[in-house]
Amino acid sequence: EQPQILTGKTLTITAGPTREPLDPVRFISNHSSGKMGYALAQAALELGAKVNLISGPVTIKAPAGANLINIESAEQLLNESLTYAAHSDAFIGCAAVADYRAANVATQKMKKQGDELTLTLVKNPDVVAAVASLEQSRPYTVGFAAETQNVESYAKGKLKNKNLDMICANDVSKSGLGFNSDHNALTLYWHNQSLELPATSKTEIAHQVIEQLAKHL
């Protein structure tokens, strides 16, 4: 039994990819498996928290005891996140949200035409920034930064620009870590401190992240 340091606390965690439809049979997405977000949910549950897990389409099973909310698109993720965040002590944006969606979603399957096809994309809302800008009932807000270069400066930029309380910088250029693997390494940044979490299993690193977060609740 682990010390129930999160008893009475509610965490809302997003996980997995979003899918942005192009037509009835196609979408834009990414390689997120949901493993990192689901491990965070599991760790929080083991420490006694109530957990809302808002998840894009993944093939893994939700931890027992989590309140699973399934979404597909970034817009659906935004709606559910705002609903649950306002009743949460902390919000963790671990989902790999598509930054852009199709400007127009075709109602019929697009037919093959010439040798080139140009898609027009429009920017999606930023979910974790929207949560961090809640004026009432703003939870302690944690983001991730998945980067392949300039990891520290991009992560610190997102911490500041999205008005987050903490960010987990995830160097996703290292093979065997990050997207779709069972292991990860993170550096946590707050506005005035940082903490390196060396490579380990997602289960273990999720516990370390949740324990750090718990100090602020």
Shortest separation between residue 187's beta carbon and ligand PMT, angstroms: 12
Shortest separation between residue 204's beta carbon and ligand PMT, angstroms: 14
Question: Which residue, 48 or 197, has its beta carbon nearer to ligand PMT?
Answer: 197
* Residue 128 annotated as part of some ligand binding site: yes
Are residues 209 and 167 in contact, defined by beta-carbon separation less than 8 angstroms?
no
* Residue 127 annotated as part of some ligand binding site: yes
Residues that bind ligand PMT (CB under 6 A): 32-36, 74, 93-97, 99, 124, 126-128, 143-146, 158, 170, 172, 178-180
30 is catalytic: yes
Shortest separation between residue 154's beta carbon and ligand PMT, angstroms: 7
What CA–CA distance (Å, rounded) separates 90 from 13? 8
* Residue 109 annotated as part of some ligand binding site: yes
What CA–CA distance (Å, rounded) separates 31 from 17? 7
What token pair was written down for 2?
């682990």
Question: Which residue, 33 or 42, has its beta carbon nearer to ligand PMT?
Answer: 33
* Residue 102 annotated as part of some ligand binding site: no
Are residues 185 and 205 in contact, defined by beta-carbon separation less than 8 angstroms?
yes
What token pair was written down for 135?
């004026």
Question: Which residue, 7 or 173, has its beta carbon nearer to ligand PMT?
Answer: 173
Are residues 163 and 132 in contact, defined by beta-carbon separation less than 8 angstroms?
yes
Question: Which residue, 35 or 207, has its beta carbon nearer to ligand PMT?
Answer: 35
Shortest separation between residue 209's beta carbon and ligand PMT, angstroms: 10
> CA-based angle 189:209:134, to the nearest 5?
65
Are residues 178 and 172 in contact, defined by beta-carbon separation less than 8 angstroms?
yes
* Residue 99 annotated as part of some ligand binding site: yes
Identity of the amino acid at 52: N
Instruction: For 186, list phi and psi in degrees, rounded to 5.
Output: -140, 155
Active site residues: 30
Annotation: binding site for CTP: 93-95, 99, 109, 125-128, 144, 158, 162
Annotation: binding site: 93-95, 99, 109, 125-128, 144, 158, 162
